Chain A
Amino acid sequence: DAGITQSPRHKVTETGTPVTLRCHQTENHRYMYWYRQDPGHGLRLIHYSYGVKDTDKGEVSDGYSVSRSKTEDFLLTLESATSSQTSVYFCAISESRTGAIDGYTFGSGTRLTVV
């Protein structure tokens, strides 16, 4: 049983449309993260959450918003999708803020293409 699931796994959308990606966890971890992974850039943090309704920006947050109304769900919204947001998006969870001991557990990713 996967402790973290992402949906959808693949999505193609048009420029200018809003898109929402979902991350669901069954581990009851406090911290949840959204990353994007692009060739040459590695994993870059978009937003993270440290509790219900508690979120903060990462290093590449422009054009993205997040919401966490329940412990288990963390949503990432692209308000008006652009081609530069074509990427693979990963959700991660951890018990501690830095994951220094337990590490991060990642979902399987969502491949988003903006045309």
Chain B
Amino acid sequence: TQLLEQSPQFLSIQEGENLTVYCNSSSVFSSLQWYRQEPGEGPVLLVTVVTGGEVKKLKRLTFQFGDARKDSSLHITAAQPGDTGLYLCAGVEAAGNKLTFGGGTRVLVKP
């Protein structure tokens, strides 16, 4: 069992649809990050959230950190084929000093 559980593991949608990816844990995190990874490349940081209840927007992407700082979600509005990739959440436990990654959600947006 991973410290950070992502769901779903795989998501296939049509262009223009909305999607939500979840990142859950039983631990409290001092901060949480979301990365996107494209085939043949390394993950690229999208956002960092540090305050419980925080919401950040990056164009059509909306990131939310749970009030209790145990979970996070990523919502994409009107998905485009360019949103296709592996989405990874990563967090630092409140009492820890390392970054732990979730298993990832693979998103496929069909034209």
Contacts and interface: CB of A to CB of B under 8 A. Distances in A.
A34 to B, nearest CB: 12
A105 interface: yes
Q: How large is the interface on A (under 10, 10 to 19, 20 to 34, 35 or more residues)?
A: 10 to 19
A98 B41 contact: no
Contacts of A100: 30-31, 48, 50, 92, 99
A18 interface: no
B103 A42 contact: yes
Most buried by B among A41, A42, A105, A106: A42
Interface of A: 40-43, 45, 90, 92, 97-101, 103-109
Interface of B: 2, 30-31, 33, 35, 40-45, 48, 50, 88, 90, 92, 96-99, 101-104
